[in-house]
Amino acid sequence: MYDLIIIGAGPAGITASVYAARKRMGLLVITRDIGGQTAWSGDIENYTGYQFITGSELAAKFEEHMRKYNIPVKENEEATEVKKVGNIIFVKTDKSEYQAKSVIIASGKKSRELGVPGEKEFKNRGLTYCATCDGPLFSAKDVAVIGGGNSALDATIQLMKIAKRIYVINNTSLLYGDSIMRDEVSKSKIVTVLNNSRVTAILGDKFVQGIKIERDKKEETLAVQGVFVEIGLIPNSDLAKGIEKNERGEIKINSHNETDIAGVFAAGDVTDVAEKQIIIAAGEGAKACLEAFRYLIQHKF
Amino acid sequence: MDKQVKIYSTPACPYCIRAKQFLKDSNIQFEDTDVSSNQQAAEEMIQKSGQMGVPVLDIDGEIIVGFDKERIKQALGL
């Protein structure tokens, strides 16, 4: 049985693991990937100590720091359930099951999905959640960006240099991202913004060929080869089945990173912490580890 | 005999960066093709893998989509 299992290896999980290793706790990290959302971030200019660093570079620095302590990491493994029976916390994954005296959930957030027919079938066949990664494959093609906030505008601006024509499908009456980005998008001759519009299906054969949208209560079909889904993030909190969450699905914690189950702590973007920032997630990870350490000292198992 | 390893990538995708780092750390020689600046290579990648996500690895004709460390290790005999 482990003293501590940390779920997730973004800034929160990795910082917690470094603190735990330095306290020589019997430790295991279970994670789907390394770096979390940090790895997908563009330029970072607000992480103290680095005046400028890219997301992938900062994620590599985090990983290097974790590897220095030879921390056991189960990578490509997804925790599916955290359950406490007596004093033992069981962590079930898609591959195995583990037991620990304490757990830190630091599983972060993921892209929100549209939930429409065709989305799953055409993922990576024209539909993507990462404009930075996959955008360059749509050179001189017609594409649709779904969303109206900053991430949708950011994707649109990136695609303006690549695609032939861009439809922005926004379900509110106006785009709501930063005005500096809205101006840039509205100046482009290749961008068509469709407000009050909602995607109802992704169409295609082997690859995406179009989308069906509902605009002003009328259905329309747009011929596009690419669909970029940018409708925000949701917490990876499905694993926390019996743990209290807020209306957004974020795990509720107090100022000591405690959940409503003793011995189960949470940190970073998966929680209801007020701000979602890399540096805040890292700090929360450190706090959660120190609290778990204190918990283990106070409860002799 | 060293295996022929080719990776199709884009500059900003984190799994591409991780996959290339993994190959470097394992002392594997590989050819890196940036599909964002080479439309022909992009078509070739889509043809080979039947999908449009990066990275794609071609290890002696075995096509691996994404940074699937276990499959990459297996294909390389590591």
Q: Quick check: A277 pLDDT over 80?
A: yes
The hierarchical CATH code for the domain A2-110+233-298 is 3.50.50.60
* Mutant choice from B8, B9, B13 vs A, greatest count of A C-beta within 10 A: B13
> Band of the pLDDT at A92, cuts 50, 70, 90?
very high
Strand partners of residue A220? A213
pLDDT of residue A300: 76
Q: What pLDDT does A43 receive?
A: 76
Secondary structure, 3-state, chain A: CEEEEEECCCHHHHHHHHHHHHCCCCEEEECCCCCCHHHHCCEECCECCECCEEHHHHHHHHHHHHHCCCCCEECCCCEEEEEEECCEEEEEECCCEEEEEEEEECCCEEECCCCCCCCCCCECCCEECCHHHHHHHHCCCEEEEECCCHHHHHHHHHHHCCCCEEEEECCCCCCCCCHHHHHHHHHCCCEEEECCEEEEEEEECCCEEEEEEEECCEEEEEECCEEEECCCEEECCCCCCCCCECCCCCECCCCCCECCCCCEEECHHHECCCCCCHHHHHHHHHHHHHHHHHHHHHCCC
Query: Does A139 contact B39 at a Cβ distance shorter than 8 Å?
Result: yes
Whole-model pTM: value is 0.83
- For the cut 70, the answer to whether the pLDDT of residue A156 exceeds it is yes
A99 shares contact with chain B (CB less than 8 Å): no
- Tell if the CB–CB gap between B42 and A137 is shorter than 8 Å: yes
Q: How far is B54 from chain A (nearest CA, A)?
A: 7
Q: What is the mean pLDDT of residues A113-134?
A: 93
In the beta sheet, which residues pair with residue A242?
none
Contact between A14 and A246 (Cβ < 8 Å):
no
| Banded model confidence at residue A78, pLDDT cuts 50, 70, 90 | very high
Strand partners, A85: A88
With a cut of 80, say whether residue A42 has pLDDT above it: no
In this prediction, residue A255 carries a pLDDT of 98
Q: Which residues pair with A93 in a beta bridge?
A: A79
What is the domain extent for residue B15?
Answer: 5-76
Mean pLDDT of chain B: 92
* Secondary structure (3-state) at B73: helix
Element (H, E) at B12: none
pLDDT tens digit string along B16-49?
A: 988 999 999 999 999 999 998 888 999 999 999 9
**Mean pLDDT over each residue of chain A, to the nearest integer:** 95
Both tokens assigned to A182: 């809205």
Phi, psi (degrees; rounded to nearest 5) at A109: -125, 160
Quick: pLDDT tens for A227-238.
999 999 999 999
Enumerate the CATH 3.50.50.60 domain ranges in chain A, comma separated. Answer: 2-110+233-298, 127-229
In this prediction, residue A56 carries a pLDDT of 84
Interface TM-score (ipTM) > 0.95: no
Mean pLDDT of the region A247-276: 97
Per-residue pLDDT, averaged over A124-136, amounts to 90
Q: How far apart are CA A159 and CA A188, in angstroms?
A: 11
Residue from the list A75, A124, A132 with its beta carbon closest to the beta carbon of B53 = A124
pLDDT value, residue A45: 85
With CA atoms as reference, report the closest residue to A31 among A131, A85, A104. Answer: A104
Question: Hey, which residues does A44 pair with through a beta bridge?
Answer: A53
Segment A279-301 mean pLDDT? 95
A117 cis-preceded (ω within 30 degrees of 0): no
Q: Is A134 a catalytic residue?
A: yes
Tell me the average pLDDT across A94-106.
98
Provide the chain B residues 56-75 that lie in CB contact (below 8 A) with chain A: 65, 68-70
Question: Which residue type is seen at A270?
Answer: V
Binned at pLDDT 50, 70 and 90, residue A94 comes out as very high
Residue B14 has pLDDT above 90, yes or no: no
Mark whether A133 is an active-site residue. yes
Number of domains in chain B: 1
| pLDDT > 70? residue B1 | no
Asked whether B26 and A146 are in contact (CB, 8 A), the reply is: no
Q: Which CATH number fits the domain that encloses residue B40? A: 3.40.30.10
| Inter-chain Cβ pairs, chain A and chain B, closer than 8 A | 62
**Structural class in CATH, domain A127-229:** alpha beta
Q: Are B12 and A133 in contact (CB < 8 Å)?
A: yes
What does the alpha-carbon distance between residue A269 and residue A285 come to, in Å, rounded to a whole number?
10
Strand partners, B69: none
Confidence of residue B15 (pLDDT cuts 50, 70, 90): confident
Chain B residues lying within 8 Å of A55, measured CB to CB: 14
Find chain B residues with C-beta within 8 A of A133's C-beta: 10, 12-16, 53-54
